[in-house]
Amino acid sequence: MRYTPISKELYVNNRARFVKSMRSNSLAIFNANDIQPTNADGHLKFRQNNDLFYLSGIDQEETILLLFPDAKNPKHREILFLRKTSELIEVWEGHKFTKEEGKNLSGIETIYWTDQFDSVFNLLVVEAEGIYLNTNEHARSSNEVQTRDQRFINYCKDKYPLHIYHRAAPILQELRMIKSDLEIQQLKKACEITEKAYERVLRMIKPGVLEYVIEAEISHEFFRNGSRGHAYEPIIASGASACVLHYIDNDKACADGELLLMDFGAEYGNYNADLTRTVPVNGKFSPRQRDVYNAVLEVYNVARKHLTAGRTFEEYDKIVVHTMQEQLIKIGLLDRAEVEQQNPEQPLYKKYFMHGISHFLGLDVHDVGHKNAPIKEGMVLTIEPGIYIKEEGIGIRIENDILVTESGNEELMPNVATTVEEIERAMASR
């Protein structure tokens, strides 16, 4: 594999924390993601189910994890099922994990082949009263394609209708919100690679360069540093395209006098970075661009100051919104009298700042978690204010990844040129 795996200690601890939250005499099942087809005999690159990976560290298709802490036979309290390989598979697809490799990566002693799952599961399920099943319960998920998890839910409920069923997702959302030291190390590696890519492209941005050429430079830096690629589809948006929040065409030429918004992040070992910076194509901000940029930077700085343990997300959001309103008034986009009379259900700032300020980050770019509890030490979130002025063709966003610490917080990409002066100086040294 391209990345250095995390120590099995992480997965041993993650499983221990999960089973601690399970109801007595229950078992839990976690399935790998499907390999998704394209056309003819093609398929997309495999991406492991993040919950299964979080509990096992196994990055291979057709993997199943079974947890049954109250099993009568101690060797059945944790079972990992791996795809059985063959000489034919070795020739066409390459190496698959051996049982010993699965044990070393996951810390699980009992390993069976996946084709033994039905018989083993049949044997154990009669001992259990409850079954924990997993599915994607992310607030923004849209599952139009039936997943392996969903097929297993249907199979289970049809075959064992008298069992009590429980949801694994709420437990995992709670656990995955707080990152361990080992996870933070992996996140920092993804961030370090992303920083290198940003430094690389600053040296080649100039009038006339194509957005997709910039994307190619980023990809090159990712791959040469052990990343498997982009954590998400990169946004390389020059001029008015920066006002399209999810612009991914990346097919225009960058023009003199325009700004370039770049939103990208490296994936490393299934953990993700998420960076946005906005720079002048010709290396120099105009007075108006500078004013708007500094307004966004002020919101970022205030947000970072208040993203601290103990504060509620509601309090945090109110502070950020107030700061954004003040900055929009300062640069002439909002009128103070109109703001004071605005409908609270339809605030005026949303015309220029229409997305959220922070999201969880980890195994998912928009990682699982909930914001109905206070901000806690060990959370990793983005801060990403933006101002988008469609009529002026200006879109500016600044984003960094933040670890909440006991004493405040830490930027995970501290070396990225951020201020107007830092960006202009870095671009002048090309």
Measured in whole angstroms, the distance separating CA 421 from the mean position of its chain's CA atoms is 30
Q: Is 360 helix (H, G, I), strand (E, B) or coil?
A: strand
Q: By the 8 A CB rule, do 352 and 395 touch?
A: no
The pLDDT profile of the chain, 430 residues, written as one tens digit per residue, is: 889 999 999 999 999 999 999 999 999 999 999 998 899 989 999 999 999 999 999 999 999 999 999 999 999 999 999 999 998 999 999 999 999 999 999 999 999 999 999 999 999 999 999 999 999 888 877 777 889 999 999 999 999 999 999 999 999 999 999 999 999 999 999 999 999 999 999 999 999 999 999 999 999 999 999 999 999 999 999 999 999 999 999 999 999 999 999 999 999 999 999 999 999 999 999 999 999 999 999 999 999 999 999 999 999 999 999 999 999 999 999 999 999 999 999 999 999 999 999 999 999 999 999 999 899 999 999 999 999 999 999 999 999 999 999 999 999 999 999 999 999 999 998 6
DSSP labels, 74-116: GGGSEEEEE----HHHHHHT-----HHHHHHHH--SEEEEGGG
CA distance 242 to 338: 27
Catalytic residue flag (residue 388): yes
From 151, 246, 336, 430, active-site residue = 246
Catalytic residue flag (residue 160): no
Measured in whole angstroms, the distance separating CA 342 from the mean position of its chain's CA atoms is 35
Catalytic residue flag (residue 41): yes
Q: Which residues lie below 8 Å from residue 47, measured CB to CB, with a gap of 6+?
A: 33
Catalytic residue flag (residue 274): yes
Catalytic residue flag (residue 397): yes
From 274, 364, 367, 401, active-site residue = 274
Q: By the 8 A CB rule, do 252 and 210 touch?
A: yes
* Phi, psi (degrees; rounded to nearest 5) at 389: -115, 90
From 230, 277, 306, 359, active-site residue = 359
CA distance 197 to 185: 19
Residue ranges covered by each domain of the chain: 8-176, 181-428
Whether domain 8-176 has CATH 3.40.50.1970: the reply is: no
CA distance 138 to 173: 9
What pTM value is reported for the model? 0.95
CA distance 403 to 177: 11
Nearest in space to 412 (alpha carbons), one of 218, 187, 182, 181: 187
Give the strands of the sheet with 78-82, arranged side by side: 110-113, 78-82, 64-67, 26-31, 130-133, 164-167
CATH superfamily of 181-428: Creatinase/methionine aminopeptidase superfamily (3.90.230.10)
Q: Which helix (H) or strand (E) holds 326?
A: helix 313-330
